[in-house]
Amino acid sequence: MGEPHVLLLGAPGAGKGTQSKRLAEAFGIEHVTTGDALRSNKDMDIGHMDTEYDTPRAYMEAGELVPDAVVNEIVKTALRSADGYVLDGYPRNLDQAEYLSEITDLDAVVFLDVSNAELVDRLTGRRVCDDCGANYHVEFSPPENEGVCDGCGGELIQRDDDTEDTVRDRLEVYEENTAPVVDHYREKGVLVEVDGEGAPDEVFEGISDVVDDAAN
């Protein structure tokens, strides 16, 4: 087998982004996220598709959601150029999961299992530097001085989408749209669940073991 094709699933706050980056570095594969893929291909010509706009950029500038068909095309382009990858943030629904199965073969599907109570704690505790964008957490990675960025001295703020009401809304949306994707892979017998509530190094070790097993 060549470089591994890994899908990492989990709710907002489960640690997908952090663990995906580590996995990509450790295995020498691409970290493919929907957001990065969109930004890299925002001027892609989609005029041949039956869509309202001719580029993803037009949707983004209009503040509209990019249709699934366009996201699918962009992810396909990103995966085509990667020998190995860890896919993070896609698929978000069952239609995307079906499409993914048509364009690539997955070697490992890993689900980071984190309770809702823990997810709320993680997401509401996040603080972001208003100047440089550095991320902190009041419990897990606090700054040296409360409310002040270690790097640039800027003010640390809580983003609007990190308030408890907004976080709970985000988790409800996840349960409605993306949790069925997890069930889909579980029913196919390919899903491996990793406890996502341990220390980051422990979680990474668990994911790495799954990928190592898939590669051998």
In this structure, the number of other CB atoms found within 10 A of the CB of residue 171 comes to 18
Q: Closest by alpha carbon to 210, among 197, 191, 188, 187?
A: 191
Catalytic residue among 22, 122, 127, 170: 170
Query: Which position among 42, 92, 168, 186 bears the catalytic label?
Result: 92
What value does the CA radius of gyration of the chain take, rounded to a whole number of Å? 18
Q: Which one is catalytic: 16, 22, 122, 127?
A: 16
Q: Is 126 tagged catalytic?
A: yes
Q: Which residue has the tokens 């890994």?
A: 6
Per-residue pLDDT of the chain (216 residues; tens, 9 = 90+): 579 999 999 999 999 988 999 999 999 999 999 888 877 767 777 667 767 767 777 777 777 777 888 889 889 988 988 889 999 999 999 999 999 999 999 999 999 999 999 999 999 999 999 999 888 999 888 999 999 999 999 999 998 889 999 999 999 999 998 999 999 999 999 999 999 999 889 999 999 999 998 877
Whether residue 80 lies in the annotated active site: no
Question: By C-alpha distance, which of 179, 68, 166 is closest to 124?
Answer: 166
* Rounded Cα gap, residues 13 and 126, in angstroms: 10
| pLDDT score recorded for residue 47 | 65
Q: Is 92 a catalytic residue?
A: yes
159 assigned to active site: yes
- The pTM of the full predicted model, rounded to 2 decimals, is 0.84
Sign of the torsion angle spanned by Cα atoms 104, 110, 115, 121? negative
Q: How open is the CA angle 117-119-125, to the nearest 5 degrees?
A: 100
The structure tokens 């993070």 sit at 88
